[in-house]
Amino acid sequence: MKQNYSASKTKNREVSREHARATATGIDSLSKGVVISMGVVSAIIGLWAVACLVGAMLSSNSTPLAMVSNWVHAITGM
């Protein structure tokens, strides 16, 4: 009787470990997916910011220094 109980207990531990590994793998996959998604969104936002700066330089028809100067004049009101 003791051997049967011991074998059953060992089998339950193995099943629990397998379940824990599967759960950890699922969580790791989810975390990796979230990190990749955040990286992609950050890259898209960065590209959008660069596109806005390029658009501002093209619309001002001047050098980047003139664009900064115009920005300072707009902020200070001078």
pLDDT at 71: 81
Task: Check if the beta carbon of residue 67 is closer than 8 Å to that of residue 56.
Answer: yes
pLDDT at 36: 94
**Averages of pLDDT over each 10 residues, the chain, 78 residues:** 56 60 69 92 96 83 80 88
pLDDT at 69: 84
Helix or strand run (H / E) with residue 17? helix 2-60
